[in-house]
Amino acid sequence: MIKATDRKLVVGLEIGTAKVAALVGEVLPDGMVNIIGVGSCPSRGMDKGGVNDLESVVKCVQRAIDQAELMADCQISSVYLALSGKHISCQNEIGMVPISEEEVTQEDVENVVHTAKSVRVRDEHRVLHVIPQEYAIDYQEGIKNPVGLSGVRMQAKVHLITCHNDMAKNIVKAVERCGLKVDQLIFAGLASSYSVLTE
C-alpha cells in the first residue's frame, strides 16, 4: 500500500465535483485509525461524479496525493477510492438456498448471499457492495446471524450498491495515471456511514 517502515498505513482518496481529498491513516494495534496525512485540491475536470477532462483530474489527484505524502512522510503507492455521483444506484434483492447439513454453516451463508447478488444488474453497471440485511430460515424471519441454526432452507435479503462501469473506469484511469494502484472502489456514502456509525 504505502512504502513506510514499521507502520501499517491506509490511504483513502475521494475525487468529488468540488474537491479532491486524500487521507493517510495509520492503523493502530487496537484497530483504530489515526489520520497522519491530509491533502486536498479544488476539483477540476469533474461534473456530477463523472470525468469530463481527464488531464485536469490527474493534476488535482497528484496535488492532493503530494500534500498527503508530505504531511505523513510516506510514499503512497495505492489507495481506496471513494465513488459518488449520479452514476451510483442501489437495489434490494433476495436469495434462497437449501441448508446443506440441517444446520447453517458459514458456507451456506456465503452461498445464499452469492445467490442474492447474482441477479442481473443493468448492463452498464457493476456491483460495488453487497450488504446483507437479514436472513430467514424456513418461517423464522429477521435473523442477523444464522450460523449454527437449524432448518431446511435459508433466505437472505441483501442491498446491492452498483456504479456505472465506464464512469468508474474513467475515475480509476485518472488515479492510475498518477502511478497509483486502486485497492478497492467504495461508495462514498457507505464509507461515511462506517466512519460515524457504531452499529
Domain with residues 2-85+165-196, CATH architecture: 2-Layer Sandwich (3.30)
Cβ-Cβ contacts under 8 Å for 194 (sequence gap 6 or more) = none
SS3 state of residue 192: helix
- Contact between 128 and 92 (Cβ < 8 Å): no
The CA distance from 54 to 178, in Å, is 11
Grid cell, residue 11, equals: 490511504
**d(C-alpha 182, C-alpha 80), whole Å:** 6
From CA 190, how far away is CA 169, in angstroms rounded?
20
Instruction: Give domain 88-163's CATH architecture.
Output: 2-Layer Sandwich (3.30)
Q: Tell me the mean pLDDT per 10 residues along the chain, length 199.
A: 66 93 93 93 88 94 97 95 89 92 91 90 87 94 94 95 92 95 92 75
Report in angstroms the alpha-carbon separations of 130 from 12, 58, 93, 162: 20, 30, 10, 9
Backbone dihedral angles phi then psi of residue 26, each to the nearest 5 degrees: -95, 125
Break the chain into its structural domains and give their ranges.
2-85+165-196, 88-163
The answer to whether the beta carbons of residues 49 and 167 sit under 8 Å apart is yes
Rounded to the nearest 5°, which phi and psi values hold at 45?
Answer: 85, 10
